[in-house]
A and B are shown apart, each in its own frame.
Chain A
Amino acid sequence: MENFYLEETSKTPKLSFDRKTGKFLMSGRSIPENSIEFYRPLFEWLDDYVKSPSDKTIFDIKLEYFNTSSSKCLVEIFRRLERIDNNSVVINWFYEEDDEDMQESGEDFKEIIDIPIVMNVIEN
């Protein structure tokens, strides 16, 4: 199984998902008009990954902003990771210290997702 990698664009984030190390990164912006179309290949990749995941999966999310259709896709991604043994997955949610909106978004996911989400402040 190959790694999943996509370069960042002005509307879509960088996606770097390493199969072997279990190190996942999503950074930049996520505001595509059709989010599902954009994320579908990643959903499929994750469906495969969760069948034989790495011992540890660490997912760093450093988003500047995202639209609501992307937030639904993030839920879809997290739902897939929920299928892995809970103790081996961690999500790191990064936000800038004065960015209440991005902090709130992290709290929203924390509330509805069954995976530990660690809040990380990026100091300005």
Chain B
Amino acid sequence: MLTSQFILEKGQFLNNLDIQAYYKQMQSSSIVMSYKGAASNDLLTSLLSIAQTKLAETESKSAIKKRVFSILVEILQNIYHHYEAVHGNSLHEDDAITFLLVKLDDTYTIITGNYVASKDVMMLKQRIDEVNSLTADELKEKYREQLNIGVVSPKGGAGLGIIDIARKSGNRLEYEFEEFDPHYSFFSLTVRISAN
């Protein structure tokens, strides 16, 4: 009896602490926006519209605002196209995508997480590793090369999105893959954009 009460109290204490810690974290790291849930065309439109309003509040430089927003568009639309491919399978729809937009000091950080087909993991890794290995000038060349090809697939394709994200962010793209089951992996991507 005593033990269970202790556990209950301890549990409540922990919950309380968690919320406080979370709140403090939210304040200090100034999360501009966060989302976890399903992905659909309409939701994406709403998310982008909210992001735009939030950025208008936090960022005074028009060029930076545009840069952060356009990178966000590219990332979320990339995820959405992947989501369409993954959708309809055994995954929980409620936590299909996670995304966080944080401004800390003079850097914006966009962190996203979503499920991808495990068979695509190698290709995605290779693409990101490749753009990470290129200098700014090489990225520009690569972008122009891909652009010159024109429309190749109904989804744009050829990794132009990843090149564009790397080029605009000016930083290495950080990523992680975690196997969820034999068919799907959780892919998280971190993109940093300097606001200076």
Contact = CB atoms under 8 A, between A and B. Distances in A.
A69 B156 contact: yes
Interface stretch (B41-49, B106-114, B176-184): B41-49
A11 interface: yes
Interface string B45-76: 10011000000000001110011011001100
Given A101-B70, A108-B143, A33 B62 contact: no
Given A67-B73, A68-B160, A68-B164, A99 B148 contact: no
Contact of A36 (B66, B67, B77, B154): B154
Nearest to B67: A101
A73 B161 CA distance: 14
B172 to A, nearest CB: 19
A20 to B, nearest CB: 29
A124 B63 CA distance: 11
A35 interface: yes
A69 B80 CA distance: 14
Contacts of A100: 63
14 contacts: A10-B45, A10-B49, A11-B45, A31-B70, A34-B154, A65-B70, A68-B164, A75-B147, A75-B151, A76-B150, A100-B63, A108-B143, A109-B147, A111-B144
